[in-house]
Amino acid sequence: MPKATGRKPQGRASDAPDTRTRIRRAAAAQFARRGYAGTGLKQIAAEAPAPFGSIYHFFPGGKDDLAEDMIRTTGPQFMRLVLGVLAERDDPVEAVEHTFAAAARDLAANDYADGCPIATMALDVASTNDRLRAAAADVFGEWTDGGIAWFTRWTGDAARAADLARTMIMIIEGAFLLSRTTRDPEPLHAAGRSMAALLRAARTDLSARG
């Protein structure tokens, strides 16, 4: 990790993102849309835009370094995004419904290209690249922990919160998969309804037990 010396790269427009940032952004977009094997380093350099050699300057480990960096940075970003949307409503059931509706709207708006930032890569590398598989597993673990914290604040029951958190993640991933391949927001809406139904069932169940 090169220590920041406070020096600006090279006389560049002050507000434009630097080369490293442009490479990361382009890599994140391409990997998320086209998967690991389907994305070429040359495409990333072309889209950044950045000189090809700069990729290896900033990410000496090459494609794997770039992909792992992408997984570990966009993963938490996505969780913060979801948690932010969730926080826009007070009632948990409404919050969940609102979040799925927002996801459906956003996915349609970007022409069904950007769903989960890491799911495509995760499946792509699950059986072929253990380092990246582990990175994705770490991210899913963080999401699960974050979800458990969120649901525990509401249910007070940790075991139930764990199932709800995992289910929320799984159903949203499944919904992205279906909506992206069918180019139809309906799966995301159905997912929202089911997740809300699950929360309502948990609520009545918990209040019945006291």
Partner DNA sequence: CCCCCTCTTGATAGATCGTTCTACTAAGAG
Partner DNA sequence: CTCTTAGTAGAACGATCTATCAAGAGGGGG
How many chain residues touch DNA (CB under 7 A)? 27
The site string for DNA over 114-133 (x = CB under 7 A, - otherwise) reads --------------------
**C-beta pairs of 21-25 under 8 Å, 24+ apart in sequence:** 22/48, 22/49, 22/50, 23/48, 23/50, 23/54, 23/55, 23/58, 23/59, 23/66, 24/66, 24/69, 24/70, 24/73
Q: Is the separation of the CB atoms in 11 and 98 below 8 Å?
A: no
Q: Are 42 and 15 in contact, with CB atoms under 8 Å apart?
A: no
* Least distance between a second copy and beta carbon 210 (Å): 19
From the list a second copy, DNA, none, which binds 170 (C-beta under 5 to 8 Å, kind-based)?
a second copy
Cα–Cα–Cα angle for 45, 50, 56, rounded to 5 degrees: 70
Q: Does 202 bind a second copy (CB under 8 A)?
A: yes
Report the site for DNA in 181-210 (rule: CB under 7 A). Answer: none
3-class SS string, 131-153: HHHHHHHHHHHHHHHHHHHHHHH
**Residue 70 within binding range of a second copy, rule CB under 8 A:** no
Q: Kindly list the residues in this chain that would bind a second copy in the complex (CB under 8 A).
A: 33-38, 112-113, 119-120, 122-124, 126-128, 133, 136-137, 140-141, 162-164, 166-167, 169-175, 177-178, 180-183, 186-187, 190-191, 193-194, 197-198, 200-202
Q: Kindly list the residues in this chain that would bind DNA in the complex (CB under 7 A).
A: 2, 5, 7-11, 18-20, 39-43, 50-54, 56-58, 60, 62-64
